[in-house]
Chain A
Amino acid sequence: MTARQAGSSAEDGAPPGRRAHGDLQELFDETIARDQRIEPRDWMPDGYRKTLIRQVAQHAHSEIIGMQPEGEWITRAPSLRRKAILFAKVQDEAGHGLYLYSAAETLGADRADLTQRLIEGRQKYSSIFNYPTPTFADVGVIGWLVDGAAICNQVPLCRSSYGPYARAMVRICKEESFHQRQGYELLMTMMRGTGAQREMVQDAVNRWWWPSLMMFGPPDEDSPNSARSMAWKIKRHSNDELRQRFVDMTVPQAEKLGVTLPDPELRWNEERGRYDFGTPDWAELKRVISGDGPCNAERVARRRAAHEEGAWVREAAAAHAAKRAARQRKGVAA
């Protein structure tokens, strides 16, 4: 019997509460141990549900807030081809936010409530989006480094133990990898361009390198929830392992581009077969996470303004739907 069969009152007629809690926990643990998926109607421990809602909601918020830094450049993109690419990319992020809010709703969360938590600052989003985008090169570097780091984080999530999240991640990763390549391609083009373009790229790399490394979260010894999430297979690799992988993948790309990564300690370690690199400024990460980054206030304010200014539109849609349903009922009755 799977956890789903045991936990589903519709299928076996017995509400989950009537089953011995120990049995359900055991079935859940077995499902996880066998690398099978937990589905929305399966029994799951409260902690698993809460951890997932928090993680999926933060991920959804990150996609939506993440539209802002690059979205600013759609109207100014310097060629129509770049404009189309960027417009489509930012639109994809809105789509990712939609799938992820839907995945969170399968766990019993409510999108409107999650949005409220975001705009009241009660739920977080990835700290990377609190950095500014002063030049068009930032669009390329965000694609290359930020989307690259996101891919390192997210490809393992395609095997997350929670089914709806894992399936959403498959599609999201395909699109993210496309964005990452588009970013890299923009940088290749700019590095073959004018001196001013090359300077813009190097300047953007200097600004985004360390924040990108921070995207993997604090070092393992300071990441209290990681062990439990890994035991539940919500998370598949430790923060430090993912960070190392990202560095190992990115250094050869930087060399091909001809940009310098701003880390004097960065060098190949023959013995480990991996790159050694310096320590990010963890105090900065803490500051940005706690709301004191360069753009935190403006990002949340924008999201709040859009939500509040759109309230009358959402109310109108709901009112129209209700009137229409009433008219239809009346029509049927008559």
Chain B
Amino acid sequence: MSDDHVYLSLAEGHGDGDARWAFGTGFEDPLHGVSTAVPEDVDRAELAALCLALGDDALVTAQRLAEWTTRAPELEEEVALANIGLDLLGQARLLYARCGQVDGTGRGEDAYAYFRDADDFRNVRLAELPNGDFAFTIARQLVFASWRLAHFQRLTASADPVLAAVAAKGVKELTYHRQYAAEWFVRLGDGTEESHRRMRAGLDQVAPYLGELYAAHETGTEVLAVLRQAGEAAGLPLPDAPPLPGSGRRGDHTEHLAPLLAELQSVARAHPEAAW
């Protein structure tokens, strides 16, 4: 690589147009190569609602993980939490794109993320809870990844080819997310008195939100099996907690979602005519 004119040497082979200084920054259509036609036996409204709910779960969780940036306990955790956040953000984009294709509105991903209010979001409430300490984030991520993985494994057989493809990609990602969270769950549960106490508290805070997850999808026993296994290794049995009334899937949210969205949507809504 010549360093006499580094931009020229870095842009070699990318033509002479102005865009040569921005080569490689275009992104392929995430659904490239997958037929986007909706099969006739698929209920469009049901499919759109499912894509929207799963997209909202992913976007809101990714937003919480982004809040950890520059605040993680170690640089390796900066990288890992960002990986998980980026995977979920990628899932949200694919799911919103599919939603726009099947709900008849033709909306793009940004319309769903930036121009709906909290009442219209369908994410489970677990996703929107503030990050708390690293132990709470790990407890949430373990539950969320286990639940979503079990759900996505089933969706790989979806009658909709796009959702099946999104799920197949997501299964690999979520398997890593679950492993990452489970390893930290055990480390913190087993580590010091303080980490055990914090991990216990994190699990206690998550427990009331489990019922909502099971109600949203029939994967409860699989999630419980993961939590029991990890809990045994960590010395942290799952607490009994009565499920909270209401459901994010029906638009019931905690007071934490609106401020999260206000931040996420602030620039986009200040410049509604702008292209980014």
Contact = CB atoms under 8 A, between A and B. Distances in A.
A136 to B, nearest CB: 5
B66 A87 contact: yes
B188 A81 contact: no
Nearest to A321: B187
Most chain A CB neighbours (cut-off 10 Å) among B19, B21, B186, B266: B21
Interface string B82-123: 110110011011001000000000000110011000000000
B69 A71 contact: yes
A259 to B, nearest CB: 13
Interface in B65-90: 66-67, 69-79, 82-83, 85-86, 89-90
A207 interface: no
A315 B74 CA distance: 11
Most chain A CB neighbours (cut-off 10 Å) among B27, B69, B93: B69
Interface in A209-249: 236-237, 245, 248-249
B66 A319 contact: no
Given A87-B89, A314-B73, A155 B6 contact: yes
B5 interface: yes
B31 interface: no
Given A192-B275, A306-B70, A313-B74, A98 B268 contact: no
Interface in B136-183: none
B192 A315 contact: yes
Interface residues of A, number: 74
B86 A249 contact: no
B170 to A, nearest CB: 15
B209 interface: no
A279 B186 CA distance: 57
B22 A185 contact: yes
A94 B78 CA distance: 7
B240 interface: no
B82 A90 contact: yes
A177 B10 contact: yes
Interface in B192-234: 192, 194-195, 198
A98 B23 contact: no
B191 A320 contact: yes
A328 interface: no
A319 B90 contact: no
A88 B268 CA distance: 20
Interface string A302-334: 110110011111111111100110000000000
Contacts of B109: 80
A190 B83 CA distance: 28
B24 interface: yes
A51 interface: no
A82 B114 CA distance: 13
Given A79-B268, A317-B191, 20 more contacts: A71-B70, A80-B113, A90-B70, A173-B1, A181-B21, A182-B22, A182-B25, A185-B25, A190-B274, A193-B274, A197-B271, A197-B274, A309-B133, A310-B73, A312-B198, A313-B74, A313-B195, A314-B74, A316-B194, A318-B191
Interface of A: 64, 67-68, 71, 74-85, 87-88, 90-91, 94-95, 97-98, 101, 136, 148, 151-152, 155-156, 158-159, 173, 177-178, 181-182, 184-186, 188-190, 192-194, 196-197, 236-237, 245, 248-249, 253, 256, 302-303, 305-306, 309-320, 323-324
